Amino acid sequence: MKSRIQRLAGFCLVWFVLTGTCRADGGTVQFTAIRQGLQVSVFTDPGIPSAGPLDLSVLVQDAATHAAILDAEVRATLAPETPKTLPASAWAPPLCAANSTSNLQSFQLDHRAAQNRLYYAALVQIPAAGRWRLEVDVLRRGTQAVSIEGALQVADQVAPWTSYWHLFLFPPLAIGLFVAVQSRRSARRTPQGASSEIA
């Protein structure tokens, strides 16, 4: 019983940490293209982009062998298709806001921002919903730069509390574990013959 509770506690702790991160690799493919022998694929997480923090990942592969290219320099530009006055910024969880870039005119994607080192990634802060144009430039030493572009349909910002849903679940889990441990200890202290004597 004790080992089972310990395993459950360990699982809850790992789950709590992982769901609190603001970084993910891959996600949903938004568009892909083949240029000059390279296949460039753009991913976002969440799969349906919304105003606020957005994890942007790019996978660069050899078009013939599909082997990942790891020595490229990847930069991107993100701009609204219809020029308009944008709000200062959409709300973002503090950890995401600290690690994201709000300069969307030119930003770099690299392996350091990715958990999966096959990807080039960046956490960007999209200030408003609408249709956005994303341009990705891939440069390798001794070769001509490769550029691809596509559209991202950005939805309205989701409710801020959804970024912290795991925090609301953690206290009940912790209390439940505590009650289970205390109940187990109380059962061990009860004399084995107590129930028969009372009867």
Provide the β-strand partners of residue 34: 39
pLDDT of residue 19: 45
When pLDDT is cut at 50, 70 and 90, the band that residue 188 belongs to is confident
* pLDDT tens column, 7-64: 655 555 555 444 444 444 668 999 999 999 999 999 999 899 988 889 999 999 999 9
CA 169, distance to chain mean position in Å, is: 19
The closest of 2, 14, 54 to 173, measured between CA atoms, is 14
Instruction: Indicate whether 82 pLDDT > 90.
Output: no
Q: Which amino acid is at 26?
A: G
Q: How far, in Å, CA of 44 to CA of 184, rounded?
A: 46
CB 92 within 8 A of CB 100: yes
Structural domains present in the chain: 23-160 (2.60.40.1930)
Provide the β-strand partners of residue 108: 75
Mean pLDDT of 87-91: 52
pTM (global) more than 0.85:
no
Q: How far, in Å, CA of 138 to CA of 35, rounded?
A: 10
When pLDDT is cut at 50, 70 and 90, the band that residue 164 belongs to is low
When pLDDT is cut at 50, 70 and 90, the band that residue 159 belongs to is low
pLDDT of residue 156: 87
Q: How far, in Å, CA of 152 to CA of 133, rounded?
A: 6
* pLDDT tens column, 96-125: 544 455 678 899 999 998 889 999 999 999
